[in-house]
Amino acid sequence: MTTHQRDFSASIDPVKLDRLAQVAIKVGLQLQPGQDLVLTSSIAALPLTRKIIEQAYKAGAGLVTPIFSDDEITLTRFRHGQDAGFDRAAGWLYEGMAKAYGDGAARLAVRGDDPSLLSGQDPQKVARANKAASIASKPAMEKITGFDINWTILAYPELAWAKQVFPGENDDVAVAKLANAIFAASRVDGDDPIGAWKAHNAELSKRSAWLNGHNFHALRFTGPGTDLTVGLADGHEWMGGASTAKNGVICNPNIPTEEVFTTPHARRVSGHVSSTKPLSYQGTLIDEISVRFEEGRIVEARAAKGEDVLQKVLDTDEGARRLGEVALVPNSSPISKSGILFYNTLFDENASCHIALGQCYSKCFVGGAELTQEEIAARGGNKSFIHIDWMIGSGEVDIDGVNADGSTVPVMRRGEWV
């Protein structure tokens, strides 16, 4: 029996795992009676996936369709697959998912991938496969980035991920520690997780309202290796926590979440910025990123690790070198205070202010649900096959809001809200 086949579910608190499944359905999705659900997960996360599906049907789900992946199968492709196959992806699958979303299905993803799964593989093949998948998944992703449906993402403590986060521990202890960290970050370690999320969403809503009241023209980030001015899209709107999808369902797209976020202006970003945490992207770890923007576009990019993959990502399409999101997270967030580097964007982005390369969210505009793609572009919204968050905040980074007349208002000092 291989390490990947062993069952570590005994290391995970079953009560808290069940609470996480409840939060996924009742907070993350707010799944509606009769609503179908498309669920993606890895085989290793089967214990949580089964609980989520149980909670979904208890909540009145119509049909739950799980789609599974497996790390060993993914590696087999890179070890033995024909070269031409890395320029292909299962477009038929994504078209089917897009049809399901168009018919009203919700979307849920369980994450827990090995952050370094593809680090030993040919970076050219990794980049080609990622690009093919990004292009093929566009019909489905447009339903998500357009917030047409209620959707959410959450995590399960798979072994390979746990061993990277806690490398000095034996397998059982590493999984248990990562599970407890996930439970704490996801607010399910108390007796009333639904109530905890209600209070947290209210606080994020207050932050968003404050920023929307100021309606800044830009944000300026300054700190070690960073002097970056991020122009904000015309008619942008800050959001955070629970949001209303176009189908009228209020959901939390990320479990956990600590951010308030909006849409930058794709042509009004200038200066240089350095990452403050590694980026785990499709099985490759990209670390110590440093880029320079001119007129909204990245014109120089370096990374101490994974630079080949980063460069390929930036060449995905024209929008890949421009920003689609800017998000603010205090350095004192629970995930940051935990002191754990998760090597997983879902968690690490909630420990730090971050930006995202690629596609913008149309919901981050005033009246975004009624805007056409042309109107979004005219207001500065970016378009791309990708959307990749990476972290630029820390306890050494200051942020100022810049008004249209050039005057400034302190927003964050040393990583904390002013």
In whole angstroms, give the CA distance from residue 395 to residue 334: 14
Amino acid at 202: A
Q: Which pLDDT belongs to residue 1?
A: 35
The answer as to whether 248 is a domain residue is no
The answer as to whether 23 is a domain residue is yes
Q: Phi and psi at residue 299, in whole multiples of 5°?
A: -110, -15
Containing domain of residue 327, as a range? 215-239+255-417
Mean pLDDT, residues 271-294: 92
Tell me the percentage of the chain whose pLDDT exceeds 70.
Answer: 98
238: exposed, middle or buried (C-beta count within 10 Å: 0-12, 13-18, 19+)? buried
Q: Which pLDDT belongs to residue 284?
A: 81
In whole angstroms, give the CA distance from residue 245 to residue 253: 10
Torsional sign, CA 144, 148, 149, 151: positive
Q: How does pLDDT run across 218-254, given as a tens digit for each residue?
A: 999 999 999 999 999 999 999 999 999 999 999 999 9
Q: Does 178 share its domain with 77?
A: yes
Q: Which pLDDT belongs to residue 115?
A: 84
Instruction: Using the 3D structure, point to which of 185, 205, 227 is the last residue of a domain.
Output: 185
In whole angstroms, give the CA distance from residue 33 to residue 39: 17
Mean pLDDT, residues 354-365: 94
Q: Does 167 share its domain with 221?
A: no
Strands 239-240, 416-417: parallel, antiparallel or unpaired by DSSP?
A: unpaired
Q: Does 11 share its domain with 95?
A: yes
The answer as to whether 21 is a domain residue is yes
The answer as to whether 249 is a domain residue is no
Strand order in the sheet with 151-155: 64-69, 37-42, 106-111, 151-155
Q: Which pLDDT belongs to residue 116?
A: 85
Q: What is the mean pLDDT of the chain?
A: 94
Residue 3 has pLDDT above 50, yes or no: no
Distance of CA 277 to the CA centre of its chain: 14
Q: Is 18:45 a contact under the CB 8 Å cutoff?
A: no
Strands 416-417, 408-413: parallel, antiparallel or unpaired by DSSP?
A: antiparallel
Q: Does 226 share its domain with 143?
A: no
Q: Phi and psi at residue 197, in whole multiples of 5°?
A: -70, -35
Q: Does 413 share its domain with 296?
A: yes
Q: How does pLDDT run across 138-166, given as a tens digit for each residue?
A: 999 999 988 999 999 999 999 999 999 99
Instruction: Using the 3D structure, point to which of 165, 185, 205 is the last residue of a domain.
Output: 185
Q: Does 225 share its domain with 171?
A: no
Q: Does 69 share its domain with 178?
A: yes
Q: Does 347 share its domain with 408?
A: yes
Out of 2-16, 192-206, 362-376, pick the least confident. 2-16
Mean pLDDT, residues 32-47: 97
Amino acid at 312: K
Q: Which residues have CB under 8 Å from 46's CB, separation 6+?
A: none
- Joined together, the tokens standing for residue 191 give 């007796």
The answer as to whether 92 is a domain residue is yes
Q: Does 318 share its domain with 169?
A: no
Residue 21 has pLDDT above 80, yes or no: yes
2: exposed, middle or buried (C-beta count within 10 Å: 0-12, 13-18, 19+)? exposed
Q: Does 283 share its domain with 373?
A: yes
Q: Which residues have CB under 8 Å from 50's CB, separation 6+?
A: none
Mean pLDDT, residues 324-338: 95
Binned at pLDDT 50, 70 and 90, residue 281 comes out as confident
* The three-state (H, E, C) secondary structure of the chain, written as one string: CCHHHCCCHHHCCHHHHHHHHHHHHHHHHCCCCCCCEEEEEEHHHHHHHHHHHHHHHHCCCCCEEEEEECHHHHHHHHHHCCHHHHHCCCHHHHHHHHHHHHCCCEEEEEECCCCCCCCCCCHHHHHHHHHHHHHHCHHHHHHHHCCCCCEEEEECCCHHHHHHHCCCCCHHHHHHHHHHHHHHHCCCCCCCHHHHHHHHHHHHHHHHHHHHHHCCCEEEEEECCEEEEEEECCCECCEECCEECCCCCEECCECCCCCEEECEEEEEEEEEEECCCCEEECCEEEECCEEEEECCEEEEEECCECHHHHHHHHCCCHHHHCEEEEEECCCCCHHHHCCCCCCCHHHHHHHCCEEEEECCCHHHECCHHHCCHHHHHHCCCCCCCCEEEEECCCCCCEEEEECCCCCEEEEEECCEEC
The answer as to whether 194 is a domain residue is no
Q: Does 290 share its domain with 147?
A: no
Number of structural domains in the chain: 2
Question: Which among 267, 292, 287, 262 is positioned nearest to 277, based on CA atoms?
Answer: 287
Mean pLDDT, residues 201-209: 96
The answer as to whether 30 is a domain residue is yes
Q: Which pLDDT belongs to residue 370?
A: 86
Q: Which pLDDT belongs to residue 2?
A: 40
Q: Which pLDDT belongs to residue 146?
A: 85
CATH code: domain of residue 87: 3.40.1830.10
131 or 414: which carries more pLDDT confidence?
414
Q: Does 178 share its domain with 219?
A: no
Total length of the chain: 418
The answer as to whether 160 is a domain residue is yes
Mean pLDDT, residues 109-124: 90
Residue 192 has pLDDT above 80, yes or no: yes
Residue 4 has pLDDT above 60, yes or no: no
Residue 283 has pLDDT above 80, yes or no: no
- Joined together, the tokens standing for residue 115 give 């952050």
